[in-house]
Structure 1
Amino acid sequence: MNRMESTDKRRDVYGIASTDSRAKSFVLWREVAMAYISPAVMAGIGGLVTADKGLQIAALTTIGGASALIAWMLGLWLRSTGGKNRWVAGANRLIVTGTFTLGGIAFGLLAAWLTVYLLGIVWPFDPAPWVDRVWLDFPMSGAIASTIMIWRWRLTAAKN
């Protein structure tokens, strides 16, 4: 049996689509970690440069946390049904990324509105100082997380 027949048998038995060992698969926890770390580090650096303690704290909480949450939800969707949608996998990468970025901004605005609204109902006293930040932090985090997730997913899908 030659090498070509052996490779074909492995593809049939194990469902191997690619023999390129350099191509990495889409691993959700790794992508969510990148979606948390990237904006948190950049906002933390911005907070250090401007000496803004509020931005330094928000980098690890509202900015990084919202990015991780949105990336996790989008990653679960991409892993389960997103790859089966023809327009997500087949359309121009910039168009798909832009669409998901706008969707992430809209989701972030909705999350900010729900947070402020529900916190106003549950906590009738003067709101915490971080509540004013969510109007900027959540949409920005949604945009960053959506862009990172869909871009990296498309690169992985193209390689595999």
Structure 2
Amino acid sequence: MNYPNQIDGVYGIKAAGSKKKTFVLWREVVMAYAAPAIMAGIGGLISADKGLQIGALTTIGGTSALVALILGLWLRSRGGRKRWIIGAPHLVVVGMFALAGALLGLFAAWVTSDLLGIFIPIDHLAWVGRVWIDFPLSGFIASTIVTWRWRLAVTTNFSSKRRR
């Protein structure tokens, strides 16, 4: 007797030979760290900018990975329950989350550069000047990619379940 894969929708496991796209958080976080870190590292090597080379591995890659982790956890646990996320056009949802990621990055840059200076003398830390570009840009890129890929996985799985 041929039974449909009942655990496929529950645990997000991809059946052998299945065309369904799944959202695997650890892969998204690794890619969110590696992709901008590699690109910024190459840019730092080409321009001989030591600050960009170090920032690629710390503020750029780290912020991207952190945003991808936080957003991915939220989308996985609560995103599917929000009707406007599933029902709205793909580009609208991705654009809204990208804007939210950039704003979160700006807020993190403000906290890091202004409020942290109250408690710690940050005049000697060269990376603090970079956070105004690194944090919002990393938040924007990570939010865009994670939301795009999550939404593709959700709509693909949702539409395939409707056809059964």
TM-score interval for Structure 1 and Structure 2 normalised by the shorter chain:
0.7 to 0.9
Query: 4+ residue stretches of structure 1 with deviation over 4 A?
Result: 17-20
Deviation at 1:106, TM superposition (A): 0.3
Residue 154 of structure 2: aligned partner: 157
- Largest Rg, 1 or 2: 1
Matched, 1:144 2:149: no
Residue 119 of structure 2: aligned partner: 122
Whether the aligned pair in 1 keeps the contact of 2:21 and 2:152 (CA below 8 Å) is no
Whether the aligned pair in 2 keeps the contact of 1:120 and 1:127 (CA below 8 Å) is no
Runs of 5+ unmatched residues, structure 1: none
State how many pairs are aligned.
Answer: 152
Whether the aligned pair in 2 keeps the contact of 1:63 and 1:137 (CA below 8 Å) is yes
Which residues in structure 2 correspond to 1:1-160 (within 5 Å)? 1=1, 6-7=2-3, 10-11=4-5, 14-17=6-9, 21-124=18-121, 126-160=123-157
The TM-score with structure 2 as length reference comes to 0.85
Runs of 5+ unmatched residues, structure 2: 158-164
The TM-score with structure 1 as length reference comes to 0.87
CA distance in 2, matches of 1:81, 1:27: 16
Residue 161 of structure 2: aligned partner: none
1:47-76 Cα shifts (integer Å, max 9, x gaps):
111111110110010000001001100001
Q: Secondary structure at the match of 1:35?
A: helix
Deviation at 1:15, TM superposition (A): 4.5
CA distance in 2, matches of 1:125, 1:63: 19
Residue 162 of structure 2: aligned partner: none
Q: Structure 1 residues 29, 108: closer, same or farther in 2, change over 3 A?
A: same
Deviation at 1:125, TM superposition (A): 5.7
Letter in 1 for 2:104: F
